Amino acid sequence: MKFTTLPKLGDKVSKICLGTMTWGQQNSEAEAHEQMDFALSKEVNFWDTAEMYPSPPSKDKQGDTERFIGTWFAKTKKRNEVVLASKISPMDFLRDGKTRFNAKHISEALDANLKRLQTDHIDIYQLHWPERRTNYFSTRGYTEEMAAQDLTNLTPFLETIEALNAEIKKGRIRAFGLSNDSAWGVMRYLWEAEKAGLEGPITVQNPYSLLNRLYEVGLAEISHRENVGLLAYSPLGFGVLSGKYLNGEQPEGARLTLYDRFQRYTNDEARWATEKYAQIAEQAGLDMAQMALAFVNSRHFVTSNIIGATSIEQLQTNIDSINVELSQEVLDAIEDVHRQQPNPSP
């Protein structure tokens, strides 16, 4: 395994992060425990979850992923070997769909996170997506409708920062991060925190893959200059970049076979790009999934690459991507495809 350092906290974390959102939908508790055992045996010591998981989210299964992690911690007594990230999620079935990032809701959500996880602290506590409407979750541009939103009805940035800093002082979280946020959002949190002499966000968890490199446009420079690490999610585009859906294939039990709600990685432009990336991998003698993950692993602004798997075989392949070094020829070929079809899956 290769390791990076968490901004500000200084923890040594694996460049590969174990994603957990299939646990409770596509994976049983026993399978989740098997994945945790295997990942830690491969030195993957950084794990990410959320209060709304598993995904796709549902009211009856909400929290199962954290519960599975909690029972593993209780069984193995290995909580101190893991750097753990989780999230507060503004889902419609949580807190009556009225979640605000204020002290009351952050405290309530964190109470439940910690109880399910059977731990007394979370290392990085993330805001799953902004209260305000902005261009995340498949929305490419910042629309006039978004611009018309009145932010005075939402929790002020400083109030959220103060609430999270209060939890840091209590020791219930060690730091906080953002997720699915924009360059403006990240900078506003940093500015408000610095102005108030408080701790600001240390990470941002946004999508990043061969099919979606929008993070590079503005946020990558923020990562570099403000020391805010990217936790890259969907590095395989829901499995599309493994090549398993090429030529119209719909493998049994695969995520896009089971759930038709995930369409952003299967539009015509994404299919064209995926076919080109598959050709690059084949010509270079590379496993396509490992090539896609190795590309993300190699980016200087990525603190950790969040992988997910539904089988130990997939998990092994994904973890082994850390040992794949892409040649300049492969990188040039990837850039050529990107120039022709940039970011087809926002």
Active site residues: 53
Specify whether the CB–CB gap between 21 and 342 falls below 8 A: no
Tell me the CB-side half-sphere exposure of residue 212, using CA atoms within 13 A: 25
Q: Count of CB atoms within 10 A of residue 261's CB?
A: 8
E strands present in 259-310: 302-307
Q: What is the dihedral of CA 107, 111, 113, 116, to 10 degrees?
A: -170
Distance CA 170, CA 37 (A): 30
Distance CA 152, CA 212 (A): 32
Map tokens 């993330």 to a residue. 126
Pairing of β 173-179 and β 12-14: unpaired
Distance CA 336, CA 330 (A): 10
Please name which of 230, 129, 237 lies closest in space to residue 181, comparing C-alpha atoms: 129
Record the tokens describing residue 3, joined without a space.
């390791």
> Cα separations (Å) of 242 from 77, 174, 287, 292?
34, 35, 8, 8
Query: Is the Cα dihedral 90, 188, 301, 138 positive or negative?
Result: positive
3-state secondary structure of 344: coil
Helix (H) or strand (E) holding 269: helix 268-284
183-196 and 157-170 helices cross at what angle (nearest 10)? Answer: 60
Please name which of 95, 19, 27, 29 lies closest in space to residue 50, comparing C-alpha atoms: 19
